[in-house]
Structure 1
Amino acid sequence: MLRPTFLGVLTALVAVVPSTLAADCTREGLLTAARSYLAAQISGKTTELKLSSNFTYQQNNKVSDIAKGLLSTSYKIDLNRSTADLVACASYTMWISSSGSKPYVVGTQIRHRNNNTAEIAMIDTIAATTGDLFFNAKDTQKYIAAEDWTSLPAASRPSRDVLKKAGDAYLDMWTDAKAADTIPWGTNCERVEGSRLTKPCGGQLPHGGSTKPNGMRRYVIDEEMGSVDVLCQFDSLGNMPDSHEIRITDGKVKYVHTITVNGK
């Protein structure tokens, strides 16, 4: 009987180790990082965040110093919700502070490199406050708090491709006259633009008219929640930092949320 040599055993171990060390981007890891972001926002202490060595902070589409951004100030958060994208290894967190002296409605995408959810590579925030488009934090909170955001059954979850196409088609409505008709609108869908509620959300839609497409699109797609969030620059109506979130249930658009900052 032949015994494996030490070198042979070592070679076998080396072959196995890389696969065992390969990290997976997990839902719990993404949501844990999102919770750490919310905790830092509540405390106003960015030192509580575990940031990568080449971390980037972006606020309203501009790379900024995190120590001078929104996270450097403590805010009471009255409502929040997060979704997770295991393919992009990113999360989207919406939070609302409506009870303080300076109210905010915020949409933030958090990104991780190499599937490492233990470290945050980028915090990308769209932050709307008093004076921004249709802004009223208390009304926005009231509408969104009443929504149903339970996880979808596996058999009825929209695909990643369907969700991305819906997000892109929505942002293309201002430049493409046919885009609105490609979106599967639900008869009971609700659209919250800033603090304006429209029901059903498939009515009163643009059908082209602008020559400037909405650019700088960054996606967080969560099939389990049936949602896509797109951070972008709303160029069709001006240089406006923007977040558009869409939820699809039973194959139809159920919710649309927009956070739009006046061009600054």
Structure 2
Amino acid sequence: MARSLLWTGVAFASQAAAACTRASLQEVTAAYLQAQASGKPSLLPLGANVTYLENDATVDIAKGLLTQAIAIDFNRSLYDTEACAAFTELTAATNKHPYVIDTKFLLADGKITHVESVIADDGDWLFNAKNHLTYTSKESWDPIPSAKRDTRAVIKAAGDAYLDSWGDGKVPVPYGTPCARLEGGIYTGDKTPTTNTCKMPEFPQPFKIVKRSYVVDEEGGAVAIFNEFPFIDKTKPNGTASVNFVRVEGGKIRYIHETTVCATKNCGR
């Protein structure tokens, strides 16, 4: 019996691992893009009890944004085989209703168990989808050659250091030179493209981003950090839905994208 149970466990582990290959995560991402472009969430391999969130609120997936056909102008994705997760940032600048959408998926046994989207549109922090499209499409996020890839820990630590530095300017952040930040539709690297323009000032204290979740891709050299951004929205001082999408090359931050939603126009600022 013990041997039978052991075999069952090994078989289950093998199936789970097989369900989280890079190829399988890429397939799910492709299905998501098709689903959003057509407004048909049924194209996704959804689990029986899938959780679906939009801007931190639980929504019926059959009534959410996935039911709207959106013209996608550009997209970029991460594939996290260790966490069995995928992430996609899409820009819909020419859509009748422009959006920038950051979405992560969690999978188990080949089925999506969790979908979480941060959906930015007019009135959200520094939102400008046309600018976002212009700048993100010019950036190079090519796969990192295997001999030059940073470890998962290095990539995650770089992203965390950036967020930690907002509350403590003494935190060392491994900024690269150059480094450019795309915050909503505002880009820091267009006028000074060869310097570090990513550094952020400290925010009024106390300031600490406690709630964080990650999608890390060593081959893609990047991490997407879903977080609750305090301070920025005057009507939600404890935090509003935000994503920081960070590219790391040789242990140094090269690009940062920030998408932050607001309860009031431009977060009341």
Give your verdict on TM over 0.5.
Answer: yes
State the distance in 2 between where 1:140 and 1:15 align: 51
TM-aligned CA deviation for residue 16 of structure 1: 4.5
Q: Tell me how far apart the structure 2 counterparts of residues 219 and 203 of structure 1 sit (CA, whole Å).
A: 20
- Residue aligned with 1:31, SS: helix
**Residue 153 of structure 2 is aligned to residue 158 of structure 1:** no
> Secondary structure, in 3 states, of the residue corresponding to 1:121?
strand
Could you tell me which runs of 5 or more consecutive residues in structure 1 were left unpaired when the two chains were aligned. 1-9
Q: Which residue, out of 203, 207, 211, partners 1:212?
A: 207
- Find the counterpart in structure 2 of residue 186 from structure 1: 176
- CA 1:221–1:107 in 2, change beyond 3 Å: closer, same or farther? same
**Matched position secondary structure for 1:66:** coil
Does residue 90 (structure 1) correspond to residue 74 (structure 2)? The answer is: no
Inter-partner Cα distance in structure 2 for 1:219 and 1:11:
37
**Which shifted more, 248-257 or 12-21?**
12-21
Gaps of 5+ in 2: 190-194, 234-238, 265-269
Q: 2:42 aligned with 1:41, yes or no?
A: no
Amino acid at match of 2:119: A
- The answer to whether structure 1 residue 247 and structure 2 residue 247 are counterparts is yes
Number of aligned residue pairs: give it: 250
Q: Deviations over 1:25-65 (max 9, x none)?
A: 21111111111111110110112222111210011111111
Counterpart CA distance in 2 for 1:202 and 1:155 is 28
**Offset at residue 215 of structure 1 (A):** 3.3
Q: Is the 8 A contact 1:174 1:236 kept in 2?
A: no
Give 3-state SS (helix, strand or coil) of 1:168's partner: helix
Correspondence list, 1:15-26, <5 A? 16=7, 18-21=9-12, 22-23=14-15, 24=17, 25-26=20-21
Tell me the distance in 2 between the aligned counterparts of 1:106 and 1:203: 22
- Asked whether the 8 Å contact 1:246–1:257 carries over to 2, the reply is yes
Counterparts of 1:7-156 in structure 2, within 5 Å, are 16=7, 18-21=9-12, 22-23=14-15, 24=17, 25-113=20-108, 116=109, 118-156=110-148
Q: Deviations over 1:101-127 (max 9, x none)?
A: 2100010011113xx2x2100110001
CA RMSD of aligned residues (A): 1.9
2:248 is aligned with 1:258:
no
- Bigger CA radius of gyration: 1
Residue deviations 1:46-102, cap 9 Å, x none?
122221112100111111111221101110101011111111110110111111221
Alignment of 1:225-244 (within 5 A): 225-238=220-233, 239-244=239-244
Counterpart residue identity of residue 72, structure 1: T
Q: TM-score, normalised by structure 2?
A: 0.87
Paired with 1:50 and 1:12, the residues of 2 have a C-alpha distance of 33
1:18 and 1:111 map into 2 onto residues whose CA distance is 21
Q: Which moved more, 1:19-28 or 1:53-62?
A: 19-28
Which 4+ residue blocks in structure 1 deviate beyond 4 angstroms? 10-18, 201-204
Take 1:256 and 1:162, find their aligned partners in 2: how far apart are those partners? 16
TM-score scaled by structure 1? 0.88
User: Corresponding residue for 2:187?
Assistant: 197
Distance 1:130 1:59 in 2: 16
